Amino acid sequence: MIKRQTTINRVFKLSGIGLHSGHPVNLEFLPRREQGIVFVMQGVHIPARYDHVSDTRLSTLITEGGISISTIEHLMAAFYYAGITNCLVYIDGPEVPILDGSAWEFYQGMWKAGVYEFTEEQVYLKVMQPVEVRQGDAWIRIRPLNTLDITMTIEFRQPVGMQRRRVTDVENTFSILNSRTFTMQEEIEAIKKMGLAKGGSLDNAVVIGEDDVLNPQGLRYRKELVNHKILDLIGDLYTSGYRILGKVEAHKSGHQLNNQLLRKLFSDPASYQIY
């Protein structure tokens, strides 16, 4: 477990295309003394925080001063795994690149850049009382625990069906980092009619066909799909600004419920403790 605030040790860059926009985008990562992950676009600083999340359809989008950045969740999960608490991310487009559909390439860039540790603490948020949000048959809750423990259940049509995974050593479960985003084949047309997924391909997403996975190389892990939902959740939880300690149980949860959980958690100061 990290003990103090950290940042990257040197500047590094990454480039790719946006999953939904299809446009090329460049990222430049700079060390930051002040606490938090902050995106910078057109001179506007946009904190990667739950209270700046303005849209959760198909991704997590943050807004400040009329400027928005979408699909931040995989990058936020990479920051969590790399142990980075403070960083400036300069971006020249409205969407974080999808890269291979997981958080692995982001994490590799951070690992190569190295980590610089400050003396400041206040890194962890410990949940002090249960918090739960629901929408239909989907729900997510968090209860007090001294570590981060996540159980995720997803349910889709066959051949996926119901998948469940519990991760008790989140910080060291790197199969989560390398699991890709996914979609059902029949959903692609509807998503494209919304003007989204213009950059999607079998190179950056798992596509579930009628009987099997359409990607020629198949799945990276037997539970890659539920792994990726856990990855999304970790990225969304990190928009709290802290490394959360608590027992999380989620059923069919997505970006919207993940954000609602944080908003409800922060609405009552008795629900958490920062240290």
The CATH code of the domain that includes 79 is 3.30.230.20
Q: What percent of the chain has pLDDT over 70?
A: 100
Can you state the angle between helices 224-237 and 73-82, rounded to 10 degrees? 80
* Full residue range of the structural domain in which residue 132 is found: 124-274
Indicate whether 201 belongs to any domain.
yes
pLDDT tens-digit readout, 31-51 = 999 999 999 999 999 999 999
Alpha-carbon span 99 to 261, nearest angstrom: 28
Same domain, 267 and 156: yes
Question: Residue 198's pLDDT is what?
Answer: 86
Mean pLDDT to the nearest integer, 65-87: 98
Are 242 and 248 in contact by the 8 Å Cβ rule? The answer is: no
What separation in angstroms does the CA of 45 have from each of 18, 48, 69, 87, 204?
A: 20, 10, 11, 12, 28
In a domain, 1, yes or no: no
Task: Tell me what the mean pLDDT of segment 57-62 comes to.
Answer: 94
Answer for the pair 145, 246: CB distance below 8 angstroms, yes or no.
Answer: yes
Residues 147 and 219 in one domain: yes
Element (H, E) at 29: strand 24-30
In this structure, is residue 112 part of a structural domain? yes
pTM: 0.96
- The number of domains in the chain is 2
The active-site residue out of 52, 74, 251, 255 is 255
How far is CA 43 from each of CA 27, 66, 76, 89, rounded to the nearest angstrom?
14, 12, 21, 12
Q: Is 190 helix (H, G, I), strand (E, B) or coil?
A: helix
58 pLDDT exceeds 90?
no
Task: Name the domain boundary from 89, 117, 145.
Answer: 117
pLDDT band of residue 255 (cuts 50, 70, 90) is very high
Distance between CA atoms of 25 and 39, rounded to whole angstroms? Answer: 13
pLDDT of 196 strictly over 80: no
Q: Is 255 a catalytic residue?
A: yes
Single out the residue in 117, 137, 170 at which a domain terminates.
117
pLDDT confidence bin for 192, thresholds 50/70/90: confident
Q: Is the pLDDT of residue 155 over 90?
A: yes
What is the mean predicted confidence (pLDDT) over 170-188? 94
* Same domain assignment for residues 162 and 208: yes
161 assigned to some structural domain:
yes
Give residue for tokens 């003990």.
3
